Structure 1
Amino acid sequence: MFPSLSALFAKAGAAPAIQALVIIIGTFILEDAATILTAMEVQTGQVALPVALLALYVGIVAGDLGLYGLGKLAALWPAARRWVKVPQDENGGNWFGRNVFRIVFISRFIPGARLPLYTACGFFGASVRRFALAAILATLIWTTLLFAVSLQVGHFLITHLGAWKWAGMGGFALTILLVGRIVANVRSPSR
């Protein structure tokens, strides 16, 4: 069986580098859940606040840049170029380049939008510098907000639920994911 996140952090003990690595890997799996669980670990005293936030920021931005890079690589594959209609005058690329900040900020707050939009930014050649700057700024805002809310919820759960705190945190994480899905479905055009 896999050890729990708390067990991993307990084994890491006073090794912030190992704690940071565990958090970074967690962001590659499911970044919002990693943010919520990391906030809970900060609340229980297992992880220091600076280590937690820095690892979350690094992991999330690295993941975003990875998606951009996948799009860039896909653009080099001739079959992908045949599947995607690229305008002859490169308006698609110019549109992504002109709107990279808007794309990154909007997709940061809409569940399921990052994969297609970030890879499209890479595929259509949006500036990697502008993309990286937008990803950093959007991550700082979203992750900090989610982390702060999770700290408050974590404090409440630890204080009032005791041994059931993890069930409460799971419910909180599920609520965040479901609300995001509902918002995404409400915003999508009807079929």
Structure 2
Amino acid sequence: MSSWVLFAIIFFSPFIQEDGAVIFAATASLAGVAPTAMIIAVILAGLVGSDAWKYWMGRLARRYDWAHRFAEKPGVSIAGDLIRKEFYQTMLTARFVPGTRIPTYIAAGFFKAYYPKYILTLTFTAAVYVAILFGLFHSVGMIAGEKAKIWLPIIAVVVLALYILVRWLNHVNKHQGPMTPMTDEFDHPMPGMPGFEGTPLVERSSKKEEE
């Protein structure tokens, strides 16, 4: 395989599956099939490129009625609070918690996060993820050889599961921050959402204010 073909595969693979793409890139780096610096640069470009456009899916959704109906679902306003008030923590959490990236990136657009900040944060979280995985492969992989490609992902899953458990237990008690339980108690009207003035969530809030 030529270097250009390898780089093309590394760049486009995050558009299909990000975690597998990073593991493949780290494995290629460990095998020495191309300069590690180039592989890191290409995988970072692929990660950012595969996620940069998801923001605009959220911005585009604001124009449609179904998005207004979606905004009435439990927990959506809480997700908006996380994007507005704890943007960096939420983006970093999404990078390491499987299944949360796409919803978080779309929510960033839906709740109109500042796009340059979104791209910079996206790049930073991707760089942290790549640095950790490449560091593990190169430090431990040199000792364990090919076996590292088998048990490193297992260790990563175990560590991730413990991390999720700790954050969940912490925020179940405090009711704040990323991974807050999505309950009606914390739902509220969302400012700056055109056409939302007549939704049940807003009406319920208005009644409480009158009382």
TM-score by length of 2: 0.67
Is the counterpart of residue 170 in structure 1 residue 157 in structure 2? no
**1:5 alignment partner in structure 2:** none
Q: Larger Cα Rg: Structure 1 or Structure 2?
A: 2
Where does structure 1 lack aligned partners over 5 or more consecutive residues? Answer: 1-10, 159-164
Give distance in 1, aligned partners of 2:115 and 2:93.
18
Deviations 1:59-94 (A, max 9, x none): 1112221332222232233212222139xxx99767
**2:137 alignment partner in structure 1:** 150
Change (3 A) 1:111 1:183: farther
**2:159 alignment partner in structure 1:** 179
Deviations 1:2-60 (A, max 9, x none): xxxxxxxxx2x2x3x32222112222333233222322211211121122101111111
Change (3 A) 1:33 1:77: same
Change (3 A) 1:154 1:92: closer
Change (3 A) 1:34 1:76: same
1:33-182 alignment, distance < 5 Å: 33-85=20-72, 96-158=83-145, 165=146, 168-182=148-162
- C-alpha displacement at 1:185, in angstroms? 4.5
CA RMSD of aligned residues (A): 2.9
* 8 Å CA contact retained: 1:71, 1:122: yes
Change (3 A) 1:143 1:96: same
Q: Alignment identity in percent?
A: 23
- C-alpha displacement at 1:135, in angstroms? 0.9
Give distance in 1, aligned partners of 2:82 and 2:165.
25
Runs of 4+ in 1 over 6 A off after TM superposition: none
Change (3 A) 1:63 1:157: same
* Deviates further, 133-142 or 105-114: 105-114
* 8 Å CA contact retained: 1:100, 1:130: no
SS at structure 1 position matched to 2:97: coil
Change (3 A) 1:149 1:113: same
* Deviates further, 167-176 or 142-151: 167-176
**2:191 alignment partner in structure 1:** none
Where does structure 2 lack aligned partners over 5 or more consecutive residues? Answer: 173-180, 182-211
Alignment length, in residue pairs? Answer: 168
**1:4 alignment partner in structure 2:** none
* 8 Å CA contact retained: 2:137, 2:148: no
Give distance in 2, aligned partners of 1:143 and 1:30.
14
Deviations 1:101-154 (A, max 9, x none): 232123223333222222111111111111111111222222112211122232
Give distance in 2, aligned partners of 1:69 and 1:151.
36
Give distance in 2, aligned partners of 1:67 and 1:111.
16
Give distance in 1, aligned partners of 2:5 and 2:62.
36
Q: Which has the higher helix share?
A: 1
SS at structure 2 position matched to 1:63: helix
